[in-house]
A and B are shown apart, each in its own frame.
Chain A
Amino acid sequence: MSGAAESGAGCARTARGHRAAPEPSVVLTGVCGRLGRLLLRGLHREGRVVGIDRRDFPDAPPDLVHYRLDLRRKACRDVFRREPVRAVVHLGVMHDPRVSAETRHAWNVEGFGRVLEYVAAHRIPKLVLLSSAAVYGARPGNPQFLPEDAPLLAASRLSEIRDLVELDMLAQTFFWRAPECETVILRPSFIAGRVHNEIYSYFRLPVTPRLLGFDPMMQFIHEDDVVSALRLALRPGVRGIFNLGGPGVLPLSQVIERVGRPGLPVVHLLARRLLDGLWRLGLTDFPGREIDYLRYVCMVDDRRARTELGWAPRRSLDETIRAIRDAVTT
Chain B
Amino acid sequence: MLAPEAALVPLDSPSRREPPASLPPPAPTLAPFVPPGAGPLARGLQAAGRRLRRAIDPEFDRQYERILECLGVQAFDPFGFHVGYARHVLHAAAWMYRRYFRCRVEGIDRVPAGRALLVANHSGQIPIDGMMIATAMLLDHDPPRLVRSMVEKWAATLPVISTFFARCGQVVGLPENCRLLLEREELILVFPEGTRGISKTIDRAYQLEEFGSGFVRLALENRAPIVPVAVVGAEEQYPSVANLKAIADLVGAPAIPVSPLFLLGPIGFLPLPTRYHIAFGEPIWLEGEVDEEDERVTEHVHRVRSAVQHLLRRTLERREGIFR
Contact = CB atoms under 8 A, between A and B. Distances in A.
Interface in B130-163: 153-154, 156-163
A316 B156 contact: no
Interface string A127-157: 0000000000000111111110000000000
Interface string A1-45: 000000000000000000000000000000000000000000000
A257 B16 contact: yes
Contacts of A179: none
Nearest to A141: B153
Interface of A: 140-147, 211-217, 219, 245-251, 254, 257-258, 260, 267-268, 296, 299, 301-303, 316-318, 322, 325-326
B78 interface: yes
Contacts of A250: 9, 76
Contacts of A301: 1-2
Contacts of B24: 318
Given A140-B153, A214-B159, A251-B80, A260 B1 contact: no
Contact of B9 (A211, A248, A268, A302): A248
Nearest to A303: B2
21 contacts: A140-B156, A140-B157, A143-B177, A143-B180, A144-B180, A146-B176, A211-B159, A213-B162, A215-B163, A217-B78, A217-B79, A245-B1, A248-B1, A248-B6, A248-B9, A249-B1, A249-B76, A257-B36, A303-B2, A317-B6, A326-B19
A302 B1 contact: yes
A258 B8 CA distance: 16
B7 interface: yes
A74 to B, nearest CB: 45
Given A248-B6, A250-B9, A301-B2, 7 more contacts: A144-B172, A212-B160, A217-B78, A217-B79, A249-B7, A299-B1, A301-B1
A272 to B, nearest CB: 14
A245 B23 CA distance: 21
Given A140-B157, A215-B163, A217-B80, A248 B7 contact: yes
B301 interface: no
A322 B8 CA distance: 17
Nearest to A245: B1
A140 B175 CA distance: 14
A267 B161 CA distance: 14
B207 interface: no
Nearest to A143: B176
Nearest to A249: B78
Q: Is the interface of A mostly helix, strand, loop or mixed?
A: loop
Contacts of A318: 13, 23-24
Contacts of B159: 211-214, 267-268
Contacts of A317: 6, 9
A145 B78 contact: yes
B174 A214 contact: no
A147 B16 CA distance: 34
Closest 3 CB pairs of A and B: A213-B159, A143-B176, A213-B160
B17 interface: yes
Contact of B172 (A141, A214, A245, A268): A141
Contacts of B166: 215, 217
Contacts of B13: 258, 318
B227 interface: no
B234 interface: no
B86 to A, nearest CB: 14
Contacts of B78: 144-145, 217, 249
B232 interface: no
A212 B159 CA distance: 7
A101 B266 CA distance: 52
B156 A219 contact: no
B171 interface: yes
A145 B174 contact: no
Contacts of A140: 153-154, 156-157, 172
Interface string B3-29: 000111101010011010001100000
Given A214-B159, A317-B9, A251 B76 contact: yes
Contacts of B176: 143-147
Contacts of A144: 78-79, 171-172, 176-177, 180
A60 to B, nearest CB: 31
B83 to A, nearest CB: 13
Contacts of A254: 11, 76
A140 B177 CA distance: 13
B16 A145 contact: no
Contacts of A217: 76, 78-80, 166
Contact of B6 (A141, A247, A251): A247
B174 A246 contact: no
A263 to B, nearest CB: 11
A296 B153 CA distance: 11
A37 B122 CA distance: 57
A151 to B, nearest CB: 13
